[in-house]
Amino acid sequence: MKLITTITEIRKIVTEWKKAGKSVGLVPTMGYLHEGHQSLIQKAHAENDEVVVSVFVNPTQFSANEDLSSYPRNIENDLEKSREAGASVIFHPDVSEMYPEGYNTYIEAFGVTEVLEGASRPTHFRGVTTVVGKLFNIIQPDRAYFGQKDAQQAAVIEQMVRDLNFPVAVVRCPIIREADGLAKSSRNVYLSAEERQAALVLSHALKLAKKMLEQGEKSAATIRHAMTEKIQQEPLAVIDYIKIVDDRTLRDVRVIEAPVLIPIAVRIGNTRLIDNFVFGRTE
């Protein structure tokens, strides 16, 4: 498995694959890969002839108050995890390769970006859509794979693909969890042992919401109140948001009658964690 660092070289490789009639899957990541990322690579490997894993810590999706330099990185681990999961190549460009001097063009989506994560990180999704749009243009994959844990990101990319007519199928993959229920995340490495235990309150709150929905509760306010009480029982947890939104538009709902997404963001110590689940989706 090759490590490719330039746009010219990855385009040359993909062009050769395409000439041979091969399908190409793309798994965009910011590295520090774990089993959640591997599940995306494995699905891409199962559905495509060749798989590109991009490893790029994208500076344009970090807000001014977020420490880009401290984001965990380990390219040797990323190579090993990608190889194990069936990737063909890793595309690992420098920032100057993706954003050369004088770069000043961005892709910006609206409607699904101003809520949830976008409410507190107003420039975040402009960075996401721009870098993913560039990756789609550079690699020209048949399919691209995104995790459900970042549900809003997947919705934003789906909208971008529809609106800008990218010839790419966006594939959502399920959340991968630790045995005790914590959603796998590169940010989990920041948690102390005590914080790691406290972080279980996220999945516990989501399980409570799911149980209430299955028992017929339709009031979003009632469910949010129960989830809030649950999380506030954990002294180390500080709620950023608890939402119940339409699964497609990401807009708040009051009465639950159609498929909904229940996303939460909670700070455990200095680490901000997100999690979610979808209720009522049939596919």
To 10 degrees, what angle do helices 151-164 and 124-139 make? 60
CA gap 161, 163 in Å, rounded: 6
For the annotated catalytic residues, the residue numbers are 37
Q: Would you write out the chain's pLDDT as a tens digit for each of its 283 residues?
A: 899 999 999 999 999 999 999 999 999 999 999 999 999 999 999 999 999 999 999 999 998 777 788 888 999 999 999 999 999 999 999 999 999 999 999 999 999 999 999 998 889 999 999 999 999 999 999 999 999 999 999 999 999 999 999 999 999 999 999 999 999 998 898 999 999 999 999 999 999 999 999 999 999 999 999 999 999 999 999 999 999 999 888 999 999 998 999 999 999 999 999 999 999 876 5
User: What pTM, to 2 d.p., does this model score?
Assistant: 0.92
Q: Read off the tokens for 17.
A: 């694959």
**Could you give phi then psi for residue 58, rounded to 5 degrees?**
-85, 110
CA gap 23, 48 in Å, rounded: 5
The domain ranges of the chain are 2-173, 186-276
Architecture of domain 186-276 in this structure: 2-Layer Sandwich (3.30)
Tell whether domain 2-173 is in CATH 3.40.50.620. Answer: yes
